[in-house]
Amino acid sequence: MIRKNTAPAAPETEQNKEETPLKIVILGAEARYRRYLPDLPFARAQEPVYLDKDSTEEQILAAAPDAEALFVDAITPVSGALMERMPRLRLIHSEGVAFDRIDLAAARARGIDVCNNKGCNAAAVAEQTVLLMLMLLRHALEGDRMVRQGRQMEMKERSMVEGITELGACRVGLVGFGDIAKATAARLAAFGCEICYYTPHRRAPEEEARWGVTYLPLEELAERCDIVSLHCAVTDQTRNMVDEAFLARMKPTAYLINTGRGDLVDNLALRRALEEGRVAGAGLDTLAPEPVPADHPLVDLPPELRDRVVLSPHLGGITEGAFRRSHLHMWRNAERVAAGEKPDNIVN
């Protein structure tokens, strides 16, 4: 029989919030959680169980079968089978924004709230997005190598003939228009970019005007933009959305940026498009699967493609500021649950 969360709410007093214990399991590095522990009486009073983010379900159950809350890495799977064997579980909280590896339907059926840190890393990821765009446009990988090889003037002379495109001269298409895309739009506006966006449901004219963006259908965005930047969640509809058909619509001079999730891109389709010169390059902070193997089709590239693909190790959202905001939000949500209140940013 499925157990619903029907525990009565505790009295809403500050003393109660500070002293109510909550059995918390943290699937993540203890050193990181201790570094970013917020200055909240509730958080300091807890004694969480720390486990490696890759712990098996049996290891989790052996350590804390009576856990009431799970703090998990954004890429850590949490199955319905695990929830079924943790009858006191009331909260599963992603340390990041993503939550696609948590069984939302099973959590909903059992009355478990699943929460994320929506917006906490928006500024950080937006900076990484712009960095990848600039690195591609300015040929940063090749430039660094040529200078180290004593061939600075060779590349400089060639670049003056071939031309370097300024970011401000680009039409940038944002696929998705949540917190990160908006933060990216704000930064691109400072460069003078023309900014387009696509979402399944168009935003109100007032919101478009506020962010200085123009709506385009997805196919038209792919066809018209010099840079296509992915900022949407992974769903059944968006998984592998950048496929052969999508890439065929892009201009051969266009760049693809992905600071969203690796699962949005068909790896082999993108590699073929790069090999055949159907896209100019790609800047990728996220790849699927993760951890990324060395023989990944977008990592183990032939020499002629390596300067056209800029990779970063999924660090766009892991700045110090982003972690402090995220961990503060997680502990405040745990405090709400301990007090019998609803947490915020519930995604299920």
CA angle 23, 25, 26 (to 5 degrees): 140
Half-sphere exposure of 319 (CA within 13 A, CB side): 14
Catalytic residue among 90, 171, 261, 271: 261
Number of H helices, E strands in the chain: 16, 12
CA angle 148, 151, 155 (to 5 degrees): 110
Contact yes or no for 26/48 (Cβ under 8 A): yes
Which of 293, 277, 297, 180 has its CA nearest to residue 231?
Answer: 180
State the DSSP H helix or E strand holding residue 64, giving kind and residue range, or none if neither: none
Cis peptide before 289 (omega within 30 of 0): yes
**Which three-class secondary structure state does DSSP give residue 224?**
helix
Catalytic residue among 314, 325, 327, 336: 314
Beta strands at 113-115 and 309-311: parallel, antiparallel or unpaired:
unpaired
Catalytic status, residue 290: yes
Catalytic residue among 18, 127, 244, 290: 290
Beta-carbon count within 10 A of 219 CB: 12
Active site residues: 261, 290, 314
